[in-house]
Structure 1
Amino acid sequence: MLALGDFNELEVARAVDFGLYLTSDDGDLLLPGKYVPEGTQIGDRLRVFVYRDSEDRLIATTLEPLARVNQFAALTVRDVSQVGAFLEWGLEKDLLLPYRNQHRDLRPGQRVTIFVYLDDTSDRIVASAKWERYLPDAPFPGQAGDAVALFVADETDLGYKVIVDGLYQGLLYHNEVFRPLRLGDTPTGYVRQVRPDGKLDISLQKAGYDEALDAADTLLAALRTGGGTLPLSDKSEPDDIYRRLGMSKKVFKKALGTLYKRGLVQLLPTETRLLSGE
């Protein structure tokens, strides 16, 4: 069966003035000429993305969309109409986010996290901003301290809602964030705790001693890159520390202490120096 909203490998059946027709179990569909790879011959198999054009006809493209069916993505609103918002997703025809699938009204230029799915009634590819509905109910199989892949999905008063390992919902509290984040970012995170409701508290830093060791390695590398001197000390402003090293002042001071105890650095009022020989 043809996978609508995903990539398919299809055979070239015939050529026409405006492109190629590819054969499938659901009938032949057009690959417009501007997407035909140079040198393509009848009988070749092409990897193409299949969706519906503005007239609801199945059509193929070699363009790579920003999201496929059953995927999460953060997309930009191109336009708003009476039926919903239209999202830029890398193809000629924008992706529809119907009003019924929105939490709030959207405006052009705004970024929104969505889940892409195939509507059973219309057989169209559509988006939903109610992405939480599409996360499975299965409990997180790991434990506190685990490294996880994050997808930044939304910002709230408490912090950032994140999708963890593509399957679970977590919260990254504002006081755990020491760098700018935007919807769609995919940093590595660490599980702080698994809450009774199954949701996860997440941090961008490793907890405890591991965090200090990682930060110490980062600081040591920065000192070496800077010729042995870094214009930061334990009196420096948090913003200056973050801008240079991407870590909080608290973590920076732990890293300083770790290197000082190893006898690797000299601590001065306005800078840190790498001791000779290191």
Structure 2
Amino acid sequence: MDRGKKQVRTSVAMSNLQAGMILELRVARKKEIGYFLTDGREEVFLHRNEARGPLEIGEEVEVFLYHDHENRLAATMDMPYVGLDEYGWLEVVDLSSSMGIFLDNGVNKHLLVFIDDLPKLRDEWPRPGDRLLVTIKRDRLGRMLAKPVTETEVSKFAVAADESMKNKQVEGTVYKVIQAGAFLLTDEDYILFIHRDEMTERLRLGQSVRCRVSYVREDGRLNGAMRERKEVQYGEDADKLLRYLLNRDGAMPYTDDTPADVVREKFEMSKSSFKRALGKLMKERRVEQVDGWTKLIRDQAE
């Protein structure tokens, strides 16, 4: 995916000046605090702070139009990172629990992503510093807003992976979160899905993630896992249980029958992973389960 600008210059022959336009306007009048620019029919204000040095009457300047903090149409000589009807990655700079999140688009006014376009769970919202893949649209009042990309839009620029990607480590950014897991766009522009059972933490929109490709689908999309392969993970989980036992004088009140929520809280692993790790240790004769307790076999504790 091309993350650079793909700006389309708008003709000055447009009948109405609107937010999102990039066009050449002429300086019609000067004031102490800025300049009035015109396309020959309408005027828009360019604050002195938004100009790149002094301007003279009659001078032609390229500007970007947006709504300022008082919701007035204004001009700036700064250019946006992502233009109207384009898509791109923008950094999260602030959030509002009642409105949504704000993105830096390279101009003085940050772009809003409305709360209705964000996950319902707040811990799945992006955080400042995260990057969000968005498109820029106008609302019914003509104001510019950002919206997370849709599956249709992502499919336009995503590329298909081949079998050589299996078991490789990739990095990507979450662009969609659903109940079953999260979708990422990798640095190579592959679409990758991580099921919640393959996560080591709950993922949020805009989060950067490093994971292993566990499966390459026929359509070129990928499945990923933040966990190691099972044979590796079994060993790591078993080692975690052994360390826990050693710190508790060789015994713990947790067994195969311990509820899944207790296992996840105490050991940060799923019930199935916990049972596999215990099974590995019992098969190796390193632990035993007695009267609702798991205990190190005597010579293991010495």
Q: Which digits, 9 at most, give the CA deviation of each residue in 1:129-168, with x for residues without a partner?
A: 2173686425367433334445333222543212345632
Where do 1:25-36 residues align within 5 Å? none
Q: Which digits, 9 at most, give the CA deviation of each residue in 1:56-84, with x for residues without a partner?
A: 3559xxxxxxxxx9646567643999xxx
Shift of 1:229: 3.2
Q: Which residue of 2 aligns with 1:239?
A: 261
Contact 1:193–1:201, Cα closer than 8 Å, also in 2 = yes
Q: Which digits, 9 at most, give the CA deviation of each residue in 1:108-134, with x for residues without a partner?
A: x89357237999xxxxxx955217368
Q: Which digits, 9 at most, give the CA deviation of each residue in 1:209-247, with x for residues without a partner?
A: 223122222322333344433332111111111112221
1:210 aligns with 2:232: yes
Contact 2:160–2:221, Cα closer than 8 Å, also in 1 = no
Distance 1:71 1:208 in 2: 34
Q: Which residue of 2 aligns with 1:56?
A: 76
Q: Among residues 111, 117, 126, which one is paired with 2:125 in the alignment? A: 111
Task: Point out the more displaced range, 231-240 or 140-149.
Answer: 140-149
1:272 aligns with 2:286: no
Q: Which residue of 2 aligns with 1:156?
A: 178
Secondary structure of the residue aligned to 2:281 is helix
Report how many aligned residue pairs link the two structures. 213
Distance 1:171 1:224 in 2: 38
Contact 1:135–1:168, Cα closer than 8 Å, also in 2 = no
Letter in 2 for 1:87: F
Q: Which digits, 9 at most, give the CA deviation of each residue in 1:38-65, with x for residues without a partner?
A: xxxxxxxxxxxxxx9x663559xxxxxx
Contact 2:135–2:149, Cα closer than 8 Å, also in 1 = no
Distance 1:225 1:186 in 2: 34
Relative distance call for 1:205 and 1:72 in structure 2 (3 A) is farther
Where do 1:47-126 residues align within 5 Å? 56=76, 71=89, 77-78=95-96, 87=102, 93=108, 95-97=110-112, 105=117, 111=125, 114-115=132-133
1:170 aligns with 2:188: no
Distance 1:186 1:86 in 2: 17
Contact 2:169–2:210, Cα closer than 8 Å, also in 1 = yes
Q: Among residues 184, 193, 203, which one is paired with 2:215 in the alignment? A: 193
Distance 1:178 1:230 in 2: 24
Q: Which residue of 2 aligns with 1:123?
A: none
Computing the radius of gyration from Cα coordinates, the structure with the larger value is 2
Contact 1:223–1:229, Cα closer than 8 Å, also in 2 = yes
Consecutive unaligned residues in structure 1, runs of 5 or more: 5-25, 29-51, 60-68, 120-125
Where do 1:15-26 residues align within 5 Å? none
- TM-score when normalising by structure 1: 0.55
Q: Which residue of 2 aligns with 1:129?
A: 148
Q: CA RMSD in A?
A: 4.8
Distance 1:130 1:181 in 2: 17
Distance 1:134 1:72 in 2: 19
Shift of 1:190: 2.9
Identity of aligned residues (%): 22
Secondary structure of the residue aligned to 1:87 is strand
Secondary structure of the residue aligned to 2:254 is coil
